Structure 1
Amino acid sequence: MKKEPRSFLPDPADLRWLVRSLDLRSFSAAAREMDVAVSVVARGVDRLEAGYGVRLLRRSTHGLSATPEGAELAQEARALLAQLEDIGASLSDQRSRVAGTLRLASSQEICEALVLPHLADLQARYPALRVELLADDRVADLVTEGIDVALRTTVGLSDLVVARALGRFERRLYAAPGYLEQHGTPADPSDLQQHHTVTHTAQGLAMTWAFRNAQGKPLEVTVRSRLAASSSALVHHALVGGAGIGMLSAPLAAADVAQGRLVEVLAPFASRTVHTLYAVSSPGRRNAARVKAVIDFLVKASKDRWALAPVR
């Protein structure tokens, strides 16, 4: 920020107006959500801009967007508002009550497979809980983005997060029956170099896939993708549509395999590498009632209703 931060003490309500206006890209949408007049939201943001002496929002026909200073303040405001909410809960009878807003981040595919099917049950169990779903394949920063719970297949630095395992799974190769009828079924991993492959853009143009040969020894094959997509969900949809052969998490492909939309490819050569899906939170939020309740709920949902494919 351009001015010294201690020269201005913002009202938390104004910070909330800023954050929600950016999330919804509209003053009017934020006002409807909070059941206040649009002028209340706009004046709150005006006070922040006047207090800090910088422009925080860009206004256009496409909606609101943050300036660099606005994006910085919004990140800090999310963390501060979450802390204030936790303090309020700890000083009231809400300590053991699941209430407030919970921000949950995951990839779109895991969100669709694990969270959305059980969201109605979660909301029925905790009617005072408000959930914000952030579906993105990138690894979100728990603190600066105000994330309460993130679903990840990698944890990162263990001293910076608190992780609870939801399930174990393998990643395997799949293709649509129609693709295999047209292009043939590979009999050996080396055959993949003659096939159309679908990968994630994060993996680059050339991707190395791991296998095990007939003797159980590690084997790697580098393929050049004919199609790359920016999310695992898009890769999944492309495979079902017959775009080629690609790698998916086995539990997320299970329904399509059962219904004949996908077929596992090169199963005898699968690497059998085991991955773990975690529910991750920051140490400062793990004791919040809403965080503990949602993680407990996800553990039960993944165990009882989201069938993780057995590890062979």
Structure 2
Amino acid sequence: MAESSWLTQFPELDRADLLLIKKTLDGGFRNFSREYGDVIESLFDPLLAFLIWFEKLLLTTPWPIIVFVIGAIVFSASRSWKLLTGVVISLFLIGYFGMWEDTMRTLSMITVCTLLSIFVGIPVGIIMARSDRAQSVFTPILDVMQTMPAFVYLIPVVMLLGIGKIPGLIAVVIYAIPPVIRLTNLGIRLVDKEVLEAATAFGATSHQRLFSVQIPLAMPTIMAGINQTIMMALAMVVVASMIGVKGLGQPVLKSITNQYFTLGLFNGLAIVALAIIFDRVSQAYAKRSQKHMKGAH
């Protein structure tokens, strides 16, 4: 009905023309993926090697060492014994219910996705903050990335790169990167102009103003963006499992297709536990860094 009403408004485009356009686009993209898919895939080989190495490291390292390292990171970021105790108990329960390996696979994927999002997102956010023209270019792209359903952009990714870790990683990064870009841009733009004028008066260059004034003052906002990026990456775990990404998402997908309530519940709770750990630690670190900044001033 929608298509026929649309065609009545544009009679010069009949069904045959629309079908021809669709076939042309499909054929063009299929030919492009066949010709350049291997080349594009080879560009991601170093990232794939790092992801495989990091996953093997987490899987082969004895669990007490993993718990100790995560606990040390949590405590150094938050300085909270309560949070440390909660994290350690959560990890013990994950291991007790037999979800340790899947959790480590998910942890490796989310960690790499978050690091990649930070390394790409923060520079893009800085470019947007320093140029209104760049902001006008990137904003619609970010709008599309945030509003388009994840299943839609899985199609070109899978057609180009097949199924596996790298397509899953790309899909997760596309879905999760907008918050860190937007909030980096927002945080830098919200820095008080009087502070920047004072820095300029003291002879600070543009580079010094950015790294010594704007980014430190914008850090709480940037950390909020990183926090949201982590949450969105974890939300993509189940969707990414559909294109071959191993981890906690695959048992959840299996439980949906086979109606295994307990399997889905336990693995879902493990994802929730990871989300809470990342959320609490990043928020605690942001609060501590903000207090440190206020104390310095």
Normalising by structure 2, what TM-score?
0.28
Relative to its length, the structure with more strand (as a share) is 1
Bigger helix fraction: 2
TM-score normalised by structure 1 residue count: 0.27
